[in-house]
Structure 1
């Protein structure tokens, strides 16, 4: 019997998932790269937060934390957007299979990052063509606990950064960097500016008013 990923959920959570999916669909239509975080657990708070930060820094539009609530992570990223700028988004409580179905209906490509996948160097030209020439949107799946076997069949591409044990956050960073050709987004709308330094510690500027700043 195929019980699906949301087997055992409360009715309230299932209702919340359906409502969130309806709100999410329009957001997905305007997105080029979305990360789907699978099997998030409360103890994964730090790693999932780092996955969101990495996705934002390397040019994804947003992250979906599937099949569970993650209010604390959403609030953390929203606060970061205010300070550092950008429209990066995080959504939770949406069923994995429903997200995949919507993405398919939008004509998007589904990619599963896994050490069991094909070496990215062998397929990077194909992926680059799909993203930058055919303008196909990418749904990039990264797991937490053991990823269901069905995911490997659903994915259009199972991609490995290295066929060795490694962090999903590291895999996500390298994948996005390669797909974007090292061209990361520049965020200019926030109240915080980084003034980097090649030698010694850089400085952070806090924008108090338009045209002025305070260094820390």
Structure 2
């Protein structure tokens, strides 16, 4: 899940990348990292396979990220203002387009040197929640039907009380979904606990058999002795 999404409902959609700082387990979308000013590019002097990298908020430089975020907000503001203006392209826009074209050529040259990525030969099924477009359409449909899209966000008291409810009527409700997810988690934990108990039982049976054999040997020796 993306840790930088402003809307939690879209945090598990699309493709996320991991932080490039060692063993860091933080993930985020490229567009979200761009919004927060966390994207970076290696210097031209370094010859590495992938010159593009990104750090999370914990491992990134806050001052550099703040300046990049300010630049991103300024570009978004300018783009928003220019959408409503019908003016010929200015020198600033031409300079930005030349810079963008230079970066595109550099990216394509770097991409051509890398081995081709694996592409599936046939269509593969995936979860509906991984598509941002589908999630947006479902949210729009929920708003048109007068349903609140925030009903799935339950508080901690409700989640705690779900454990005490074992007979909830199946329905597309917050209580039943929470109960269903909690039941699956409990089934997994019970199965894991059962496997551990079976392993302990097998070990105890082996120990009991060894002790019984030793007891019989000692008993036979004592019988012959006396």
TM-score of the pair, normalised by structure 1: 0.20
More helix by share: 2
CA radius of gyration, larger in:
2
